[in-house]
Amino acid sequence: MDCAVRRAIAETTAGIASGIAHGIAAAAGPLRLRIDFATPELAAAFARAFAGATPAAADPADDAGVWRITVASGSGGTPVPSLVPAERGGDMRLGAGAEAYVLWMGRHAPTLYAVDLERRQALYWVEDAAAIPAWERSRPFLPIIQVMLDATPWIAVHAAAIARDGGAVMLTGPGRAGKTTLSLAALKAGWRYSGDDYVLLRTDVPEVASLFATARLRDDMAARFPWIGAVLREVSQELGERRHELVLGGGQGGGGALGGAALKAVLLLDRRGAQAPQFGPATRTAVLSTLMANTLVATPGYEAARTAKVMRLLAMLRPRRFDPGADFAPALDALAGELA
């Protein structure tokens, strides 16, 4: 499999007839990324999603240690990579080896993720760029980035995080727990925003960092954030649910910026109808189960090593339950107290 992945990435990259339309440089925790888009359409879909991304130099002087992701599409003229299965529907298919990784998304989206770990090169190929799901545009290439993080103490986890001078708070919980609304409220109140869906977590020394500059706000919550019009990219509809897809650049409506900090608290969001913010005990198992469920499904492969990383972090920080109550301001005051 390793050779097949290496060959497919090399062949596909070489076969991009039009050349690279646009490239960006981005940092992802310990990683330095260079992401090359084969078409302007792909660049428009993805480039703004990365926190702190800048246009890449045409000929970077210092390329050592940089991970490269080539982004291409069938609709943009790039031939079908040899790794794409003949049967394109069906369940997801995974190959996770020592030197290579490949994931075919199957019925979810005709999308291929492939990583050559030795050469630090990756390929994202999608059949039709016009049909890229909103979740992919919000958190692009996540399985690829997760693989790149595997050799480091960092992991991308399904959580939100917000930060101030005193440190960061990570908010875990299943979908609809309120991670996005509380994170956006914090951003407006001057906190740094690390992410509402996936954040980078350092597990040897507790720390969070931002990866994506995006947020996905449910339609029924949009009225609570009148300022989002300035950062609204589109309104998407998936599985019958409308979401306001936001691209944040920092400074929204007088709010804070993007970024992370030393992690001080891990909280399991658990709304039980309290009017005022309430903290309570939470088992590490409950938090681990919530954190890893979406993480392991969205970024399949190497599950034991990734779960062990998060276990290591939870040995350093005892999680708690948090019911934020009815209003944002007292909830944020309570969270600020966690950092004191």
Write out the residues near another protein by the rule CB under 8 A: 1-5, 7-8, 80, 82-87, 91-97, 102, 108, 174, 283-286, 288-290, 292-294, 296-297, 300-301, 303-304, 307-308, 311, 314-315
Query: CB of residue 321 vs another protein: minimum separation in angstroms?
Result: 14
Query: CB of residue 134 vs another protein: minimum separation in angstroms?
Result: 17
Phi first, then psi, for residue 224 (nearest 5°) are -80, -5
- DSSP label at 116? E
Query: CB of residue 7 vs another protein: minimum separation in angstroms?
Result: 7
What secondary structure does DSSP assign to 60-81, as a single string? -S--TT-EEEEEEETTTTPPPP
Stated as kind and residue range, the H or E segment containing 23 is strand 22-28
User: Which of 159/334 has CB closer to another protein?
Assistant: 159
User: Which of 35/83 has CB closer to another protein?
Assistant: 83
Amino acid letter, residue 220: D
Query: CB of residue 22 vs another protein: minimum separation in angstroms?
Result: 29
Query: CB of residue 114 vs another protein: minimum separation in angstroms?
Result: 9
Angstrom distance (rounded) from CA 208 to CA 80: 37
Angstrom distance (rounded) from CA 333 to CA 83: 51
CA distances to 24, 84, 126, 233, 322 from 45, in Å: 13, 22, 12, 10, 35
* 32 CB neighbour count, 10 Å cutoff: 16
User: Which of 297/329 has CB closer to another protein?
Assistant: 297
Query: CB of residue 165 vs another protein: minimum separation in angstroms?
Result: 30
User: Which of 82/237 has CB closer to another protein?
Assistant: 82
What secondary structure does DSSP assign to 189-256, as a single string? TT-EEEESSEEEEETTTTEEE--B-EEEEEGGGGGG-GGGGGGEEEEEEETTEEEEEEE--S-GGG--
User: Which of 8/334 has CB closer to another protein?
Assistant: 8
User: Which of 73/252 has CB closer to another protein?
Assistant: 73
Query: CB of residue 94 vs another protein: minimum separation in angstroms?
Result: 5
User: Which of 77/85 has CB closer to another protein?
Assistant: 85
User: Which of 314/336 has CB closer to another protein?
Assistant: 314
The region, left, alpha or beta by phi > 0 then psi within -120 to 50, assigned to residue 239 is: left
CA distances to 65, 177, 217, 280 from 174, in Å: 35, 6, 15, 18
Query: CB of residue 283 vs another protein: minimum separation in angstroms?
Result: 5
Tokens of 230: 């300035």
